[in-house]
């Protein structure tokens, strides 16, 4: 019982509901509420929470860095992955992601420069929130699509100083995996 409570993140009361359901198969929520002397709404909520927690054990998540309008993540969404955080420098690109409901939480949309400590902290705080709420150990996937114009042979107008700085954004992605 205590191991299950700890492992699944269930409360003792929710474990009581589970035990009652297992011992009395076919019991309706109304019968269960009456037998346990609790509100039917509490039973329905606990069952919903228990099912959600059980599903969360199979929860697939990702973080997207330099995500532009979020097109690169669309396939992950179609496959049932949930976006913990998305970081992009340009506000209108974040607006497209919001329109498409990419993240579960508003706080997951992070607009800012990935080289700044406060932006990195926002991403790490969002990951921590998911660890606390959903009991994940870490995101399953890190999608990083830093700018590549500086590496392109087709870009004849590149300035060496600007491109060296922009090309180093790959390092920011690698550093996030170490956090």
Q: Identify the three-state secondary structure at position 105.
A: coil
109: helix, coil or strand?
Answer: strand
Does the pTM surpass 0.85? The reply is: no
Residues 131-166: tens digit of each pLDDT: 888 888 889 898 888 776 655 666 556 565 655 555
Contacts of 33 (CB under 8 A, 6+ apart): 39, 40, 42, 43
In the DSSP assignment, the letter for residue 24 is S
Which range has the top average pLDDT, 22-26, 33-37, 66-70? 66-70
Task: Round to whole Å and give the CA distance between 146 and 161.
Answer: 17
């Amino acid at each position: 019982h205590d191991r299950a409570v700890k492992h699944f993140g269930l409360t003792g009361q929710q474990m009581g509901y589970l035990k009652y359901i297992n011992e009395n198969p076919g019991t309706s929520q109304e019968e269960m509420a009456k037998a346990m002397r609790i509100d039917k709404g509490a039973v329905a909520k606990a069952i919903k929470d228990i099912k959600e927690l059980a599903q969360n054990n199979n929860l697939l998540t990702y973080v997207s860095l330099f995500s532009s309008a979020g097109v690169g993540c669309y396939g992950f969404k179609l496959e049932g992955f949930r976006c913990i955080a998305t970081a992009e420098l340009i506000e209108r690109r974040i607006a497209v992601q919001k329109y498409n409901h990419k993240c579960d939480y508003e706080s997951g949309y992070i607009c800012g420069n990935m080289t700044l400590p406060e932006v990195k902290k926002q991403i790490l705080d969002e990951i921590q929130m998911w660890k606390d709420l959903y009991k994940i150990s870490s995101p399953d996937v890190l999608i990083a699509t830093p700018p590549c114009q500086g590496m392109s042979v087709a870009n004849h107008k590149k300035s060496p100083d600007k491109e060296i700085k922009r090309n180093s954004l790959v390092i920011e992605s690698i550093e996030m995996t170490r956090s």
